[in-house]
Amino acid sequence: MSSRQKTYWRGFRDGAPFVLVVVPFGMLFGVVATEAGLNLAEVMGMTALVIAGASQFAAIALMQENAPVFIVLATALAVNLRMAMYSASLAPYIGGAPLWQRALAAYFMVDQSYACSIAEYERRPEMTIPERIAYYFGCMSPVCIPWYAATYIGAELGARIPPEFALDFAVPITFLAIIAPMMRTLAHVAAAAVSVAVSLALAFLPYNLWLMIAAVAAMATGAQVELWLQRRGRWS
Amino acid sequence: MTLSTATIWTIILLLGLGTWLLRFSFIGLIGDRKLPGWVLRHLRYTPVAVMPGLIAPLILWPRATGGQPDAARLAAAAAALAIGLWTRNVVASVFGGMGVLYLVQYLTG
């Protein structure tokens, strides 16, 4: 095996445990999107083109409310803004790879492939760029491929689950499950609290404008609380 | 959902393109350049700033009950949040939350 193949398989092994997270999550998306009224082609189209769970759930939640296209896109993309952060942090490591590889790496950039790769790049600064790319695709293979398969199974199942199961509520429940582990610092908690308070207080505004205002207020809150914690020497 | 097929596909295509551009931004176009600290400081909070606000009204005023607050759904949301905070496990939190929803619906008949 060449060193690149070996590196690919090392990445594959390191990414493999994520299957346990991705499969139920993908199935849940398939079920929820189908219940919301998307057909199989639409569910699979979204999962294949977007590959970003939280943002797909956000889009579905707003599409269920028949929100305007602009609001659906702005919200779902805002949920994905963190991808720009990942991209910025990967750039020093894989920015020198050929364009097509970077374009493909961008398509497959998800929370798990990012977390897995960046940890390895920091651990082994001696890796060459082709090895880093091989490792990246190794990590992403057991994440993204099961994601498509699980969504498909979920979509097929979703069409068979009777309405008594109240799957309408699986969307908010899934979001709570995604958000809860993110409450790592006081700044994150404060941002979430402001987001909830402002959106409920302004819920009467049309076009989901309440959500935009709540998000901006919450981001500013998070940033300010972080600065405040830094000044008090309680930010690591 | 009453969106037309064309609208749904417009959303899917633009969301796919937009997400790819966010991912491609630095590794593809901007290259190895540092983002200013204040930008990073705001980006860090986008997920926790958007998602709680998005779901708060869905939890408090669910569409399935015509916008009336519902004990089973509130209990389910509280359970999902508590399990998520405690275990940090997304799957446990989803199943726990839905489990409580069914339990309370069953108990209150």
- Let me know whether B68 and B99 are in one domain: yes
- Let me know whether B26 and B45 are in one domain: no
Rounded to whole angstroms, how far apart are CA atoms A197 and A199? 6
- Let me know whether B19 and B58 are in one domain: no
Cα Rg of chain B (Å, integer) = 19
- Let me know whether B79 and B42 are in one domain: yes
Q: What does the pLDDT look like over B19-77, one tens digit per residue?
A: 999 999 888 886 666 678 888 888 888 888 888 998 899 899 987 888 899 999 999 99
Rounded to whole angstroms, how far apart are CA atoms B94 and A181? 13
Interface of B with A in 70-109 (CB under 8 A): 73, 76-77, 80-81, 83-85, 88-91, 93-94, 97-98, 101-102, 105
Model pLDDT, residue B66: 83
Q: Is the pLDDT of residue A144 over 80?
A: yes
Set of chain B residues whose Cβ sits within 8 Å of the Cβ of A25: 90-91
Most confident by average pLDDT, A18-22, A87-91, A114-118, A216-220:
A216-220
- SS3 (DSSP) at A74: helix
Rounded to whole angstroms, how far apart are CA atoms A176 and A170? 10
CA dist list (Å): A163 to A98, B20, B97: 49, 35, 17
DSSP B28: I
Q: What is the ipTM of this complex?
A: 0.84
Residue A44 in contact with residue A169, Cβ under 8 Å?
no
Rounded to whole angstroms, how far apart are CA atoms A78 and A236? 25
Q: Is the pLDDT of residue A60 over 90?
A: yes
- Let me know whether B86 and B54 are in one domain: yes
DSSP A33: H
Model pLDDT, residue A80: 87
Model pLDDT, residue A129: 93
**To which H or E segment does residue B65 belong?**
none
Most confident by average pLDDT, A115-119, A204-208, A221-225:
A221-225
Q: pLDDT band for position A178 (50/70/90)?
A: confident
- Let me know whether B53 and B25 are in one domain: no
Set of chain A residues whose Cβ sits within 8 Å of the Cβ of B34: 88
- Let me know whether B23 and B59 are in one domain: no
If one counts the domains in chain B, the total is 2
Interface of B with A in 14-43 (CB under 8 A): 14-20, 22-28, 30-35, 38, 40-43
Average pLDDT over all residues of chain A? 90
Interface of A with B in 146-175 (CB under 8 A): 165-166, 168-175
Distance from A9 to chain B by nearest Cα, in Å?
Answer: 23
Model pLDDT, residue B33: 65
Global pTM value: 0.78
- Let me know whether B97 and B44 are in one domain: yes
- Let me know whether B72 and B59 are in one domain: yes
- Let me know whether B59 and B42 are in one domain: yes
Half-sphere exposure of residue B86: CA atoms within 13 angstroms, side-chain side: 9
Q: How many CB atoms lie within 10 A of CB A233?
A: 7
Q: pLDDT band for position A13 (50/70/90)?
A: very high
- Structural domain span for residue B8: 1-33
- Let me know whether B29 and B47 are in one domain: no
| Residue A81 tokens, joined | 């803004």
Rounded to whole angstroms, how far apart are CA atoms A179 and A187? 14
Set of chain A residues whose Cβ sits within 8 Å of the Cβ of B101: 166, 169, 173
Q: pLDDT band for position A164 (50/70/90)?
A: confident
- Let me know whether B53 and B73 are in one domain: yes
Average pLDDT over residues A226-235: 90
Taking CB atoms and an 8 Å limit, are B46 and A78 in contact across chains?
A: yes
Cα Rg of chain A (Å, integer) = 20
